[in-house]
Amino acid sequence: MSQPAVAQVPAVPAKSRRDRIVLQRLLPFVSLIILFIALAIASPHFLTATNLSSVVRQTAVINIMALGMTMIIITGGIDLSVGAILAISGLIGAMAMEKGFSIPVGVLVGVVTGLACGLANGLMITRLRIQPFIVTLGTLGIFRGTALIISNGLPVHRIPPQFSYLGEGNLLGVPFVLWILVACAVFTHIVLENTRLGRYTFAIGSNREAAIYAGIPVLFHTTAVYAIGGMLTGLAGMIEASRLMTGQPTAGQGYELQAIAAVVIGGGSLQGGEGSVIGTLIGAFIMGLLSNGSDLLGVSPYLQQAIIGAVIILAVTLDEVRKRRTAAA
């Protein structure tokens, strides 16, 4: 403090402290590895190709939704309607194929439907200036209701059989959905970390007022984030439809909470400004492994729910402790 003329700017903080912080950051990842090893030891069926690819397939849908949710949560928002978006996208995509459109066009229709729903959420949130929680609570009902109306409540079955490849096929020995998931994760990661949109996403979530005062087009970028979230959910909807081989107006109920849980376990903060793609992936896989492991070990599905709930609270508690400690250091 005593010599303002000399600015001391070391390039990086002290090494040991940085290592400790990195180690604490890695905690979710380490937990995932430990969980993986523990399950491998506890159940002979765990480390089989069939089981592992089934974990991947089960997790992929939630995971892809959670990627979009990550961006939304970083802005300080939330999207409760993703389960409904998943259903309406899968349904409309399936209907397009039933009407004779090709599979790629059907998938595109589903993705665009998701995009449109996300855009609608974003526009209502930014133009009507209503809290995201309220808007998406409303659209949850609207999207789900619309899906039920246009389908008369009945699933769409007449889908080309090759469509199952999207959710159930393999490419180069691994489930095709894994490739899609990786592509989506890389896309979201690059958007968040390396683009202007990503920078604005963090800025808006960290301090919306400051972002406005810095001249950032906050409304536009907030809307864009919800639209991207909707788009990813639309894709997830098509994968879900492919796995079920039906367009289900009732699909994806409660998925929104799983997606939110994945983000939160991965270090996302509902206050905004924090979250990462890697974290969310780990969060989703921790939940996926827990439910798969419970199945393999014969744990009752009732208990399973309670375990996952407890893990959410535990993960966030540990993360809070870490943040408080680094804040004090």
Partner 1 sequence: MLLELNHIKKRYGGVAALSDGCLTVEAGEVHLLLGENGAGKSTLMKIIAGIVERDRGQMLWQGREVQLKTPAEAAAIGISMVHQESLLAPHLTVAENLYLGREERLPFGWVRRQRMMEAANRLISEHQFPLRAEWRVEKLTPAGKQLVEICRAILHGSSLVIFDEPTSSLSGSEAAEVFRIVKTLRERKVGVIYITHRLDELQSVGDRVTIFRDGRTVHTSPLAELTTSRIIQHMVGRELSAIYHRDSLPPGDELLRVEHLNQEGQLRDISFSLRAGEIVGIAGLIGAGRTELCRALFGVDPIDSGRVWVRGREMRIHSPQEAVAAGIALVTEDRQVTGLALRLPIAHNITLANVRGISRFGFLDRTAQNTAAADFIGRLHIRAGSTRQLCGRLSGGNQQKVVIAKWLFRQAQVFLFDEPTRGIDVGAKAEVFNVMDELAKSGAAILMVSSEMQELLQVADRILVMRDGKITGELPGRTTQEAIMRYAALETAAEEIR
| Angle 208-213-214 from CA coordinates, rounded to 5° | 95
Least distance to partner 1, CB of residue 188, Å:
15
Q: Is 273 among the residues that bind partner 1 (CB under 8 A)?
A: yes
Query: Taking the alpha carbons of 109, 147, 259, 297 in that order, is the dihedral positive or negative?
Result: negative
d(CA 150, CA 87): 12
Our finding on whether 16 is near partner 1 (CB under 8 A) is no
Ranges within 212-231 binding partner 1 (CB under 8 A): 212-217
| Only segment of 88-96, 150-158, 206-214, 285-293 that touches partner 1 (CB under 8 A) | 206-214
Please, which residue, 24 or 58, has the CB nearer to partner 1? 24
CB-nearer residue toward partner 1: 103 or 211: 211
22 is an interface residue for partner 1 by CB under 8 A:
no
Residue bearing tokens 């009407």: 99
274 binds partner 1 (CB under 8 A): yes
The mark string for 148-187 relative to partner 1 (x by CB under 8 A, - otherwise) is ----------------------------------------
In which element (H, E) is residue 191 found?
Answer: helix 176-194
**Which residues sit opposite 150 in a β-bridge?**
none
Residues 61-90, one symbol each (x = binds partner 1 by CB under 8 A, - = not), give ------------------------------
Among 51, 101, 108, 199, contact with partner 1 (rule: CB under 8 A): 199
DSSP string computed for 135-165: HHHHHHHHHHHHHHHHHTT--B----GGGHH
CA-CA distance, 136 to 85, in Å (whole number)? 10
**The one among 37, 162, 196, 310 contacting partner 1 by CB under 8 A:** 196
**Can you point out the beta strands (E) in 34-187?**
170-171, 174-175
For residues 60 and 177, the answer to whether their CB atoms sit within 8 Å is yes
Residues of this chain that interact with partner 1 (CB under 8 A) are 1-2, 4-13, 17, 194-200, 202-203, 206-207, 209-217, 273-274, 325, 327-329
